[in-house]
Amino acid sequence: MCTAVYPDFTDKLAMKIGGEDRPEWIIERRWQTFAEDIGVGYKLVRQRLMTMKESIQDATQGLRDEFVSEHGPCPVLDKILGVIKQRHNKATHALNAAG
């Protein structure tokens, strides 16, 4: 998430998910492959993804507000939150379509 806001840095993930390391290409099929690769059912992976995406979304704004309150505005932090929101929306769409 953090490096995605810097144009000179790669936006590739540190670890492949279902054989893919480009965030924009992580679709339901990649998560299914990931579940097979680690030897668990896709339903469990999907449930965990749903929980994680909601907890991340819920925490980000509060953490941002706390940081700004203590240290002042941070444009890079707002860009990171934008990436988080974009990826949250994509995950929501993909997981809702699947379930």
* Terminal Cα distance for the chain, rounded: 26
**pLDDT on residue 7:** 83
Which residue segment(s) compose the domain that 93 sits in?
Answer: 51-99
Distance CA 62, CA 7 (A): 26
Could you tell me if residue 1 is inside a domain? no
At 1 the pLDDT is: 55
Residues 51-97 have pLDDT tens digits of: 988 898 889 889 999 999 999 999 988 888 988 888 888 888 877 77
73 domain residue, yes or no: yes
Within a domain: residue 13?
no
Q: What is the pLDDT of residues 40-49, one digit of tens each?
A: 999 999 999 9
Write down the residue that tokens 């810097």 correspond to: 6
Judged by DSSP in three states, 74 sits in coil
Asked if the structure places residue 2 within a domain, the reply is no
Say if 90 falls within a structural domain.
yes
Identify the band that residue 19 occupies on the pLDDT scale cut at 50, 70 and 90.
Answer: very high
Count of CA atoms in the C-beta half-sphere (13 A) of 56 = 19
Q: Could you tell me if residue 31 is inside a domain? A: no
CA gap 35, 39 in Å, rounded: 6
pLDDT on residue 98: 64
The reply to whether 46 falls in a domain is: no
Look at the chain and report how many structural domains it folds into: 1
Query: Does a structural domain hold residue 7?
Result: no
**CA dist 54 to 1, 2, 57, 86, Å?**
16, 19, 5, 13
pTM value is 0.75
